[in-house]
């Protein structure tokens, strides 16, 4: 599935981020990455491919990705979690692994499968869970922003908004603590 924006002058925009999931059951875990790419208007495509069940399809996808205009591939898998490594073995594009939570220590098996790649075939790996998938999308955006001034500015604005949100939360906490201390002080001992 391709999520392309239309450019009225040049037709459809080609996806620059490919997202692969080892199973359609991984969707809820991958959705935060998709959401942040969508927020930043980064065109992407998403597919289900298995390193073990469809290895030829995975290899073909990875080998052809750069020629099709891809800049980054996100690969999500659980358990043995070989998808990101197989993709990285067939492309020189950056590959970001998204470990999917499993019943074994919450996805530690998935995380270790991705992070323990042999030398010379890198896979950037994010944490397990929704924060990790969102960070995979943001990492992809950061990489793309190196050569896209508009995207870089949107990322800087996003980061500044994070600073402002934390400052507001701190201000609210300071007020709440002061109020509670005053309330406690007014109570009879």
Cβ atoms < 10 Å from Cβ of 34: 20
Asked if residue 58 and residue 46 are part of one domain, the reply reads: yes
Query: How many domains, in total, are found in the chain?
Result: 2
Asked if residue 87 and residue 153 are part of one domain, the reply reads: no
pLDDT score, position 188? 79
Asked if residue 158 and residue 88 are part of one domain, the reply reads: no
Asked if residue 114 and residue 76 are part of one domain, the reply reads: yes
Q: Which of 114, 129, 147 is the last residue of a domain?
A: 147
Asked if residue 170 and residue 138 are part of one domain, the reply reads: no
| Token reading at 23 | 């199973």
Asked if residue 140 and residue 49 are part of one domain, the reply reads: yes
In eight-state DSSP terms, residue 101 is P
- Give the range of the structural domain holding residue 109, as residue numbers without chain letter: 2-147
Asked if residue 86 and residue 10 are part of one domain, the reply reads: yes
Question: Which helix (H) or strand (E) covers residue 156, if one does?
Answer: helix 149-186
Asked if residue 138 and residue 64 are part of one domain, the reply reads: yes
| Token reading at 46 | 């998403």
Max CA pair span of the chain: 75
d(CA 19, CA 47): 6
Beta strands in 35-167 (DSSP E): 44-48, 72-78, 95-100, 124-125
pLDDT score, position 8? 46
Asked if residue 153 and residue 96 are part of one domain, the reply reads: no
CA 143-148-153 angle, 5° bins: 95
Written as tens digits, the pLDDT of the chain (189 aa) is 666 555 445 667 899 999 999 999 999 999 999 999 999 999 999 999 999 999 999 999 999 999 999 999 999 999 989 999 999 999 999 999 999 999 988 999 999 999 999 999 999 999 998 799 999 999 999 999 999 999 999 999 999 999 999 999 999 999 999 999 988 888 877
pLDDT score, position 81? 92
Asked if residue 138 and residue 153 are part of one domain, the reply reads: no
In 3D space, the residue among 111, 112, 187, 136 whose CA is nearest the CA of residue 34 turns out to be 136
Q: What is the pTM of this model?
A: 0.90
Asked if residue 40 and residue 22 are part of one domain, the reply reads: yes
pLDDT score, position 25? 96
Asked if residue 81 and residue 68 are part of one domain, the reply reads: yes
Give the CATH number, domain containing residue 93. Answer: 3.40.50.1970
């Amino acid at each position: 599935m391709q999520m392309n924006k239309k450019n009225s002058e040049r037709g459809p925009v080609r996806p620059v981020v490919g997202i692969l999931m080892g199973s359609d059951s991984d969707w809820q875990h991958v959705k935060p990455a998709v959401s942040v790419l969508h927020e930043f208007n980064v065109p992407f495509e998403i597919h289900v491919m298995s390193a073990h069940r469809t290895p030829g399809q995975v290899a073909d996808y990875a080998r052809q990705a750069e020629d099709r205009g891809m800049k980054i591939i996100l690969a999500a898998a659980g358990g043995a979690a070989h998808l990101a490594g197989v993709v990285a073995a067939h492309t020189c594009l950056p590959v970001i692994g998204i470990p999917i939570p499993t019943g074994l220590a919450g996805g530690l098996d998935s995380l270790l499968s991705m992070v323990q790649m042999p030398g010379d075939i890198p896979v950037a790996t994010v944490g397990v869970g929704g924060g990790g998938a969102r960070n995979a999308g943001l990492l992809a955006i950061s990489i793309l922003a190196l050569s896209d001034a508009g995207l870089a500015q949107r990322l800087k604005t996003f980061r500044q908004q994070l600073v402002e949100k934390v400052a507001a939360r701190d201000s609210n906490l300071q007020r709440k603590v002061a109020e509670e201390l005053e309330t406690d002080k007014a109570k009879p001992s």
